Every structure is written in structure tokens, then in C-alpha cells.
Structure 1
Amino acid sequence: MRTLLITGPGGSGRTTVAAATAFAAAREGTRTLLLGAGPGDALGPVLGDADLPGLTVRRVDADAGFRADLAALQERAGGALDLLGASRLVPEETGPLPGAEELAVLRALRDAAASEDAYDLLVVDLPAAPRALALLALPEELRRVLRRLLPPERQAARALRPVLGRLAGVPMPAEWIYETAARLDLQLAAVQALLADRGTAVRLVAEPGPAGADALRTAALGVALRGLRLDAVVANRVLPESEAAGWLAGPVAQQRKTLDEWREEHTVHPVAHLGRDPRGADDLAALAAPVAPAVTGPVRWPVTDRIAEDGVLVWHLPLPGARRDSLDLVRRGDELTVTAGPFRRVVPLPSALRRCTVDGAALREGELRIRFRPDPELWPRTR
């Protein structure tokens, strides 16, 4: 299945582009699922009376998901709640807590990937870029936290847990906690597998101009740091060249300049400005951007061997748009924390680099190159 994750700056028209992309694909015979993960029912007004046999539209319902999770949690922890004298919450009388919507989106992605319905294309209308990138980072971050708090190897010693609890003088984590963590880890792993799949890519929507260019540069940096593929840039609301001599000459020239700059780095799909809010099948057909073939091969952060020449190994991290003054690297054990602009990611070191010390780093042509020098105490000696 091909998956397109569509996001962009707020107000860039990403929902319209997502709907148009899904509509055009379905009209060409592609079995398409359009998943609305943005706030509210934004897809409804855009789709209007558009209806195709090959197009299925679903909206993430964070309220229903939160209520189901709350009921399940109280059911599993019922004994502990009764022991504490705690009153049960009525799911129908509660609203979703912060973070519930993000978890609902992740669950919807997992369900779409595991669905028995045969879809050829999944188009996801994500929230605005900063929030969308934070959402896409959740599976990796949550799995990392779970492994730290509840390492799987500790569960293997569950037979000793009562003894350890008496020795430590504190209660040990209950079995249901480990079971819940294991179940959540599997669910997060499924979403991670979807994001890493060769058929998954991010498509950024932005309006060409100074503000759109800045927002696009930042979003593309976040996509690269997460190790996601950038499929294309949709330049939305492009003014017609026929207006170049009129009172819109200034904006048209600015858009043309921005488009030329974007084409130097990305595949760009210009989408014309309709002069009105798009509604229904005819407008969607006019705004559709093509769906490219699936990307082959994973996103790679390769390690090159420069030991013979310079005595180092070099780790290459593609970070287009990164600036030296907004980069930071911190190594802790076998992990490296990379900060690029407003984004941060903790990544495990490749096995060869774990036996090395950081020797320096340089940013060249949109690529961060980190040098590692083998630790003589850990590196195998050659004769």
C-alpha cells in the first residue's frame, strides 16, 4: 500500500490538497482511503458532493477512542481502584485529555495498515506541520520511554517479583502493567513500520512566498531528521502568469522566484489559485497533484570507513535546511541526541560507532557529517 502523509503550514490548504489527491487517485481506479486526522470535520466541506466508488473517507474520532481507552484501563485496574476506594469515572461524562487526539491518530494509522479492506493508497490529512511532525515522532519516542521504564528483560523475572518487592519494601509493578506496555509497544511498532515502509512518504503543502518558504524549510528539516521521505512539495494557490503585467505583478514575481528556488531542492507540483474556496468534484479535479510511484529503498544514514585515510568513521545525516548555529549534538552511552532547529531526536548509534568516541562534526551541503574515532580499548586490534 502506498501512503501519503500530507501536512504543511497552517492555512496552506493541506486539507484541500489531501482531498484532491485522494479524489484524483480514486477517479483513476486506485482504491483509496482518505483519513482525516486534522481538527474537526474539515474534509466534509471540501469534498461536498464528491462521491466515487473507489474512495473511502474516515475521520479520526478522538472522543470515542479516549472513552474506549478509559473504560479498558478501569477494567484492568479495577482491583487496585477498589482497594484504594477510588470512584470509577463514567467515560461518557469525560472529555479527552491532552495527547488523546495524537494517540487516536496513531491508532487510526495502525488500523488502516492492518485493515482487511484492500486499499492501494492511503492519504492522511495531518494537522499543521509542527504538530504533525511531533505526532509522527511519537511512536519512536514512546517506545524508547517504555523500554526505559519497563525493560522487557525485567518481565522475565516476574516469578521473583513478590520476593523483590518484600526485599525492597515497595510494591513491584503488577503483571497487567507489563502486559499493557507490551501491547502498546506492539501497536507503536506497527505504526513505526508503516512510517518506515518504502511506500510511505510525506508531502508538504505551502503557498509560495517568503512566509511559505521559511515554513517549508523548517518542515523539510523536521522530516529529514525523523528519517522520513519527502515525496514532493505542493505549491498551492499559484497565481496565473497572465497577471504578471497587472496589479498582481509583484506577488506573481515573488511566487515565481520562490518556485524556482523550491525546484532546485524538491519535486514541485504547482496548484492554481481558483479565486474561491474549492468545493466539490469539479474543483477537486482542478487541484489534484499526481501520485508518484512508490519510493524504493529505505532512507539511509550511512557510515563511511575513513580509518585508513584519516583514522575515523564518518556518519552521514542528511539535514537539508539545517544551520550550524541551530545544531547541537550530545552523546549519552549508545545514543546520540541530535537537535536541529526546533526539532530533537534521540537515535541509537550504529554498532560500529558504539566502540568509538566522537571526534567532531561538520555541516556541508545540507548533510551533517559526524566523525568517530575508534576507542583503542574497545576496537579490535589488527596484527
Structure 2
Amino acid sequence: MRTIMITGPGGSGRTTVAAATALAAARQGIRTLLLGTDPTDTLGAVLGAATGPAPVEIAPDLTAWRPDPAAGFRDDLTALQDHATAALDLLGAPRLEPEELTPLPGAAELATLRALRDAALAETHDLLVVDLPPVPHALALLALPEELRRYLCRLLPSERQAARALRPVLGRLAGVPMPADWLYETAGRLDLDLAAAAAVVADRDTTVRLVAEPTPAGSDAVHTAVLGLALRGLRPDGLIANRVFPDGHEEGWLAGRIAQQRKAVDEWGTPYDVHTVPHLGHDPRGADDLAALGVPGVGAGPARVEWPVGDRLAEDGVLVWHIPLPGAVREELDLVRRGDELVVSAGRFRRIVPLPSALRRCTVEGAALRESELRIRFAPDPGLWPAAR
């Protein structure tokens, strides 16, 4: 299944563009699921039909779905209490009833990840269009599956499950209850769910489209988003310049705004595939307005961002890891190696990535930012590297 994720600065019209993209695909006969992440029904307002926690058919080949984070949170916590009954009784803690549970921060993000997983596993649609939150929250959401899996692995590593037979003995010796099987089983199910969501984000058929108004603030947001996406190995397949004023108004009070828009679009057109969407003079509502926007089609999407390791052992005695980071600033880059992982910080973004197997047996010799690419040099560790024959 192809997935198109749409984000942009707050107020840029990303929900409208997401709805128009989904509608255009459905009219091409592509079975499309439009997933909304806004707790308010802005998606329904744009479509002219209410959306909710159950998928709703909006038009032929077009289904809209806005997951309810409160329902998922109640179900998950109720199930956790059922598993932990013995521990709660031991502590004398009363059970929480579903009616008194309200979502905690992060519940909406987990509901979105669950929806991504369910949509991918259902295989009932050919295209998934996701109306992501604004750029900063969208980038955090895309990073969440990988980060949560890393934390889960550190807290409950799989090798600990090998000691299941010893837990009753250890419990009697220590005098306290040891983690029960259900805890590891729950962690295993959660890891599978997160892996499924992470697979959707990392899939080669998943692309991201950025929506922004062509203004100086929009340009800053686009450059920030591109850098954040690059650190996650993603490249936008297009940039939607939204609410562009039509020609013929170059004189008068709109002249300055139109000149500003044209300058921004010209600048964007150098590194990105830019598509302009006209300003209709009102907020688009319903199928006719969405069709009038003329958003780009599904397309093939860009090639996946690769982080190759170059072999320069013969020439310079090093291996070079190439990490594309368009828009990165040298003064805002930071690298820290922690065992077999590398912590890469670029501006406000940070990612902890496992080293490729060959680089785990090397030491870091240095790094440089050249041509929007971070190049990290690794020298083989004589104590770990195979001896030459």
C-alpha cells in the first residue's frame, strides 16, 4: 500500500491539501483511506461530511477516518489493569473504571500509530493519505515508533525472558514478586505494534509532502522540515505552495504580497519539486472546491534517502559514512558515539542510530559537513578488525 503523509506549518492548509489529494486519487479509481489526526473535526469541515472514530465512506473509493485517542487509551489501561490485578491487590490500589479515565499526553500520538498499523495490516485500500499535525509535532510522531522500541528494548531486553524458569526461585529469595510472564508478553505485543508502525514510516512506498504558504516564515518552516525529515531518512516528494494569488493583480494592495510569493516559489523551485495551489478567495469546502485546487496526483515518489558507507581503506585507511543533511549548519551539528550507536544532532533534531556492522569495529576519526552531507570517517580498530592475509 502506498502512503502519502502531508504536513506543514500550522495554518498552512495541510488538512485541505490532504483532503484534496485523497479525493483526486479516489476519482482516479484508487481505493483511498484518508486518516485525520486532528482531535477536532477540521477534516470533516473541509470534506463537507462528518468524520469520527469509525471509518466513513465520503465518496466512491474514498473513506475518511479520525481515530479517537480516548477510546484507545481506555481500552489499553483497562487491559493493563486486568493483567496486573495481583500486583494492584498487593499494593492495595483500587481499580480505575473506564468512565473515569481521560487521555494522558501522548495518547493521540499512540492512537495515530495504531491507526497506521491497522491500515497497513488491513490491506483494504491501495492508498493511505495521512493528515499529519504541524511540522514539529509531525516529525516527533514519525520518530516515536523507533524511539519507543529503543526504550522498550533497554527496559525489557529479550534476553531476560530466558530466565523465566528462575523467576519463582528469585522471587522467594528476594521476598518480592518478580515480573510475571504477562509483562513480557505485553512488551512483546507492544514491540510488534511499534515495529508495524515503524515499517509504514520506513517503507519505500511512503512519502512526505510539505504544504506551506510562500512567505518568509513558510520558507523557514520548509527548510526546518526538510532537515528533520532527512535525519529520519525521508525526502519530501513535493512541496505544495498553497494559497497562491493568481496573475492579473500585480498592481494595487496585493502587489507586494504577490511579489513575495513569486520570490519564495522561485527559491523553492531550485531544490524541490514545487506545485502551486491557487487561492480561491475563501476557505475550500466540499468536493467541488477541493477539485478546483488541482493538487498533484499520487506519482511514483522520490527515491529513498540512502546513508551509504564508502570504502576508502586503500586510499586513506578509513571508511566514510555519508549522511545527507540538506540545510544543516556546521555550528549546529553534534556527534556522540555510545557503544554501537551514534547520536546525531542537527539543529533542534536528534536521532540515535545503530552503526552499520562494519563501523562497529572502528573508531571515529573525524567528521565534516560538505555539500549538505555529513561525512564521518571511521578507522578500523586493530583489536577488532580482521588481520590482513
TM class by shorter chain equals over 0.9
Do the aligned partners of residues 169 and 90 (structure 1) sit closer, same or farther apart at CA in structure 2, a change above 3 Å counting?
closer
Counterpart residue number, 1:54: 61
Equivalent pairs counted in the alignment come to 382
Q: What are the within-5 Å matches in structure 2 for residues 138-287 of structure 1? A: 138-167=144-173, 171-287=177-293
After superposition, the C-alpha distances for 1:121-162 in whole angstroms (9 at most, x for unaligned) are 100011111011101101000000111111111102211122
- Deviation, structure 1 residue 207: 0.6
Counterpart residue number, 1:15: 15
Counterpart residue number, 1:132: 138
When normalised by structure 1's length, the TM-score is 0.96
Q: What are the within-5 Å matches in structure 2 for residues 93-104 of structure 1? A: 93-104=100-111
Q: Contact (CA 8 Å) 1:39, 1:127: kept in 2 or not? A: no
Q: Contact (CA 8 Å) 1:32, 1:120: kept in 2 or not? A: yes
Q: Aligned Cα RMSD in Å?
A: 1.5
Q: Contact (CA 8 Å) 1:318, 1:368: kept in 2 or not? A: yes
Q: What are the within-5 Å matches in structure 2 for residues 46-85 of structure 1? A: 46-48=46-48, 51-85=58-92
Distance 1:288 1:321 in 2: 29
Distance 1:100 1:285 in 2: 34
Structure 1, unaligned stretches of length 5 or more?
none
After superposition, the C-alpha distances for 1:174-203 in whole angstroms (9 at most, x for unaligned) are 211111100000000111111111110111
| 1:108 equivalent among 72, 97, 115 | 115
Q: Do residues 377 (structure 1) and 386 (structure 2) align? A: no
- Deviation, structure 1 residue 38: 2.0
Distance 2:292 2:273 in 1: 19
Distance 1:166 1:296 in 2: 58
Q: Contact (CA 8 Å) 1:237, 1:272: kept in 2 or not? A: yes
Distance 1:116 1:372 in 2: 43
Q: Which amino acid in structure 1 is aligned with residue 375 of structure 2?
A: R
- Deviation, structure 1 residue 256: 1.1
- Deviation, structure 1 residue 293: 2.8
Counterpart residue number, 1:302: 308
Counterpart residue number, 1:311: 317
**Corresponding residue SS for 1:86:** coil
Structure 2, unaligned stretches of length 5 or more?
50-56
**Corresponding residue SS for 1:156:** helix
- Deviation, structure 1 residue 295: 3.7
- Deviation, structure 1 residue 262: 1.0
- Deviation, structure 1 residue 171: 4.0
Distance 1:159 1:291 in 2: 57
Q: Contact (CA 8 Å) 1:15, 1:42: kept in 2 or not? A: yes
Q: Which amino acid in structure 1 is aligned with residue 91 of structure 2?
A: L
**Corresponding residue SS for 2:238:** strand
After superposition, the C-alpha distances for 1:321-377 in whole angstroms (9 at most, x for unaligned) are 111111110000000000111111000000010111111111112111111111111
Do the aligned partners of residues 135 and 162 (structure 1) sit closer, same or farther apart at CA in structure 2, a change above 3 Å counting?
same
Do the aligned partners of residues 353 and 55 (structure 1) sit closer, same or farther apart at CA in structure 2, a change above 3 Å counting?
same
Do the aligned partners of residues 48 and 335 (structure 1) sit closer, same or farther apart at CA in structure 2, a change above 3 Å counting?
same
